Chains A and B, each alone.
Chain A
Amino acid sequence: MLSRSAQGLYWMGRYLERAQHGCRLLTDQMEAIEDQPVDQVDRRWRRIYTGLGRAPLAGGLESSRGDDVFMLVDAFTLADDLTFEPNNPDAIRSCLAAARENARQVRNLIGKDMWSRLNVAYLELREAGITEIWKDRPAEFYVRSEDAVRAFLGIADSTMYRDAGWHFLELGRFVERAQALASLLDAQLAVFPSAEPNVESAWHSLLRICEARMAYRRLHSVEYQPHTVVDFIVADTRLSRSIRHALGRVSESLEAISGGEPLAPEASRRVGRMAARIDDGWPRRDPDDDSSARSVLQEIRQSLWDLDADITSAYFDYDVRDRLPEAG
């Protein structure tokens, strides 16, 4: 397929995943505001901002310490920053707009139903604003927004022909998912160190964000042990929002795209190394010492950046002249 189209589908996938991740973070956060103590809410904002690698608005986190009124005012400002702020490229609305712009580039390749669903979601979000959503339960707004993304992906899943186009969309989604999870876990350990007692709610919320709570309870326990939770979200291949699952999907799509030819060997090797790192060495550590886990998570984050560069140079942005057939 045309390189520019493949790139459009890849980025459409990345931005949709990013938008969805934002919705999940904020759904959780809005509910925290309803029932968590102020200092817990404050720390969760720190987790979100650390995970996104974004500096909160000046003083936004400091001023909320110990004061319920300020906390709510700040929540309004911070949620606005992460949802509607035009200068924040990772704000949910910016992500959806970027996904739609990419979809527009590849509209001849995606079905009318896919396009309309995304377009309507964007048009609705464009009309929304923090003041309106604050009047009602803001959490519901984020659930609705995530549902719009999920509906789009459901239509894609049930309508798209499984050619390279589909796999570039998948590739974008799961590279982004692995990246978002690695960042979130690293931020979690930075803000809520495993050795610290009595922060059950923070681990509960992490599991929720990763759609992992029910499975965790059935598999492990109703008590949340930090290192078990982290291991679960890093390494369990059966959990859709785990790093290892995402890497598996990335690997499958890379294979489907190359069709057995060595088109992007470096990308495949890199994913293989990341997966092997998790499968072989990951869980063995002192449950109260996060440093080795955090350093692996940071390595994975770096590898995912490099993977993005591998994919770009193999499929989107190579020098055509290098690969022309021999003259004659």
Chain B
Amino acid sequence: MSPRPVDGSDLSPGRRLFAGYACDPAFYDEMFERGGVPRPHSRNLWEALDAMPPEAAAGLQERAERSFLHEGVTFSVYGEDGAEERIIPIDVFPRIIDAAEWAIIERGLRQRLEALNLFLADVYGPARILADGVVPADLILNCPQYRPEMRAVDVPHGAYVAICGTDIVRTHDGFLVLEDNLRVPSGVSYMLANRRAVRTSLRNLFRRCRVRNIEHYGRLLRESLSELAPNGATEPTIVLLTPGVYNAAFYEHMFLAREMGVELVEGSDLLVDDGRVYMRTTRGPRRVDVVYRRIDDDFLDPLAFRSDSQLGTPGLFSAFQGGNVALANVPGTGVADDKSVYSYVPDIIRYYLAEEPLLANVETHLCRDPEGLEFTLDNLDRLVVKVVGGSGGYGMLVGPHATPGERAAYAEEIRRDPANFISQPVLDLSCAPCLTGEGAAPRHVDLRPFILRGRETRLAPGAFCRVALKPGSLVVNSSQGGGGKDLWVLAE
């Protein structure tokens, strides 16, 4: 059952866990400065971990994995033998972000989400930014995620994106935003599950390090969603709409419904009548005010979007258009996290807020531009090329790791439809120590904090820290061998 057995058998007793730890200086190390001196904020953590007998560390790891299995912190993988439940891999060594670093991230995320919501209100409204030529109009209007149905829909508080999960990486140059996930971002339950498992394992250390609390995320989410209720209802009925128990993220849907104390509904539990949304309860139909939907736009409503969808509820979108129900996130937010639009986000921030971006973007080349295309094709062996509408790391070319044949084939695909591709340099993602069969070893990490927006913006001081568990791998996606770590944001 364990995806990554660390039984301690390869660790000789008495050997210090960090004895063989060596981070390539090409990468920023989250725990150590150059020369192997622990960073000031990591000193407590390092001392505790390094002094830990290898068997004890393996025991903690085993206990965390067992608790995930028993509690069902799992996702389903479908293979030839039917569905198999796997636990979300966890590494018990926490990653630390100190107060000053977190302040930068938090301010940057607030700024970014503010600008992106203004951008969405604009492109589905007066479209000034397109008229002013800051973002090319055809890029937006031809984007498959652009939903003309959203024009002239009044969105409460301009909260087009009510829940955002932004991927941030760290390099020697500081923090960079890798991706804005503005549609149906997932992973926040793992932020909380990792915290619960690791806090139990390392409770004394946790207390000593003065880690900021994230347990109130469910309350923040519920408050944000409540503020979106139509007609200012003060005690709105909120539901979480899931594709169902077979969805890979079902654990998270269940978890969030429980944390918020709201019903977990499927599309068939809802019904739209006379522009109002009801759910089927044991005491008859009950009116629903806010739907936190974890179903993609395409499947939300067979009358408005894909007609073959079995997951959604017919008429849901028109009820939303009529102002009778709130959807979070609203349909059509994908136009702002499209990988081509991404490269314009710094300009978008400057345009709406007249401020410089606090968090930088990764250098991005759009193949829809002739210069971008030429640069990409000329440097394929040093670049990562991504499909514009893709996600989850699928359909991506990691140039340096590809064979010349693979690169040539991919180049053909790019030439066939350049607008569908962007390229970025291979990022030197920072490393953090992980527990392996050979003791502590560096693995690449990123982080995904979750930012909420109702009437105001809310943020829990934490993130789902993703880690590439394979040595040397830069791919942190859980669908491709990635796992999670607890992320400790320290108090001042």
A: which residues have CB within 8 A of B?
Answer: 1-6, 101, 104-105, 107-109, 112, 115-116, 119-120, 123, 164, 168, 257, 261, 263, 315-316, 318, 320-321, 323-325, 327
| B243-278 at interface with A (beta carbon < 8 Å) | 245, 250, 254-255, 257-258, 263-266, 268-269, 271, 273-274, 278
Which of B4-12, B27-35, B69-77 lies at the interface?
B69-77
Q: Which of B263, B269, B281 has the most CB of A within 10 A?
A: B281
Task: Pick from B71, B72, B278: contact of A320, CB below 8 A.
Answer: B278
Chain B residue, CB-CB nearest to A264? B282
Instruction: Return the 6 tightest CB-CB contacts between A and B, nearest first.
Output: A108-B258, A108-B257, A3-B280, A315-B282, A323-B284, A320-B271
A-B contact pairs, 8 of them (CB 8 A): A2-B264, A3-B280, A3-B282, A4-B280, A107-B72, A315-B282, A320-B273, A325-B285
Contact with A along B137-180 (1 / 0, CB 8 A): 00000000000000000000000000000000000000000000
CB of B208 within 8 A of chain A? no
| Complex contact B280–A2 (CB within 8 A) | yes
CB of B440 within 8 A of chain A? no
Task: Pick from A2, A109, A112: contact of B265, CB below 8 A.
Answer: A2
The smallest beta-carbon distance between A316 and chain B, in angstroms, is: 8
The smallest beta-carbon distance between A155 and chain B, in angstroms, is: 14
Main secondary structure of the interface of A (DSSP, over half): helix
The answer for the CA separation of A6 and B284 in the assembled complex, in Å, is 13
The answer for the CA separation of A323 and B283 in the assembled complex, in Å, is 10
| Complex contact A324–B264 (CB within 8 A) | no
Chain A residues, CB < 8 A from B69: 123
Chain B residues, CB < 8 A from A316: 282
Chain B residues, CB < 8 A from A115: 71-72
Chain B residue, CB-CB nearest to A101? B245
- How many residues on B have C-beta within 8 angstroms of the other chain's C-beta atoms? 27
Q: Which of A1, A4, A168, A325 has the most CB of B within 10 A?
A: A4
CB of B279 within 8 A of chain A? yes
The answer for the CA separation of A107 and B255 in the assembled complex, in Å, is 8
User: Beyond A320-B278, A321-B271, A327-B274, is A104–B283 a contact (Cβ under 8 Å)?
Assistant: no
The answer for the CA separation of A116 and B279 in the assembled complex, in Å, is 29
The answer for the CA separation of A294 and B346 in the assembled complex, in Å, is 81
| Complex contact A112–B71 (CB within 8 A) | yes
| Complex contact A4–B284 (CB within 8 A) | no
Task: Pick from A2, A101, A123: contact of B279, CB below 8 A.
Answer: A2
The answer for the CA separation of A105 and B246 in the assembled complex, in Å, is 10
The smallest beta-carbon distance between A115 and chain B, in angstroms, is: 7
| Complex contact A105–B269 (CB within 8 A) | no
| Complex contact A104–B278 (CB within 8 A) | no
| B49-76 at interface with A (beta carbon < 8 Å) | 69-72
The answer for the CA separation of A316 and B69 in the assembled complex, in Å, is 31
Chain B residue, CB-CB nearest to A327? B274
Chain B residues, CB < 8 A from A109: 258
Q: Which of A5, A107, A261 has the most CB of B within 10 A?
A: A107
The answer for the CA separation of A39 and B258 in the assembled complex, in Å, is 54
| Complex contact B283–A263 (CB within 8 A) | yes
The smallest beta-carbon distance between B218 and chain A, in angstroms, is: 11
Q: Which of B69, B257, B284 has the most CB of A within 10 A?
A: B284
The smallest beta-carbon distance between A328 and chain B, in angstroms, is: 9
| B197-249 at interface with A (beta carbon < 8 Å) | 245
The answer for the CA separation of A108 and B260 in the assembled complex, in Å, is 10
The answer for the CA separation of A6 and B282 in the assembled complex, in Å, is 7
Chain B residues, CB < 8 A from A123: 69-70
The smallest beta-carbon distance between A244 and chain B, in angstroms, is: 26
User: Beyond A2-B269, A3-B269, is A324–B278 a contact (Cβ under 8 Å)?
Assistant: yes
Task: Pick from B245, B263, B271: contact of A5, CB below 8 A.
Answer: B263
User: Beyond A2-B265, A4-B266, is A164–B282 a contact (Cβ under 8 Å)?
Assistant: yes
The smallest beta-carbon distance between B261 and chain A, in angstroms, is: 9
| Complex contact A104–B280 (CB within 8 A) | no
Chain B residue, CB-CB nearest to A117? B70
Chain A residues, CB < 8 A from B271: 320-321
The answer for the CA separation of A79 and B245 in the assembled complex, in Å, is 32
Chain A residues, CB < 8 A from B258: 107-109
The smallest beta-carbon distance between A310 and chain B, in angstroms, is: 13
**11 new A-B pairs (CB below 8 Å) besides A315-B282, A324-B285?**
A3-B282, A5-B264, A104-B72, A105-B245, A108-B254, A116-B71, A119-B72, A123-B70, A263-B282, A320-B278, A323-B285
Chain A residues, CB < 8 A from B254: 104, 107-108
| Complex contact A104–B70 (CB within 8 A) | no
Contact with A along B279-293 (1 / 0, CB 8 A): 111111100000000
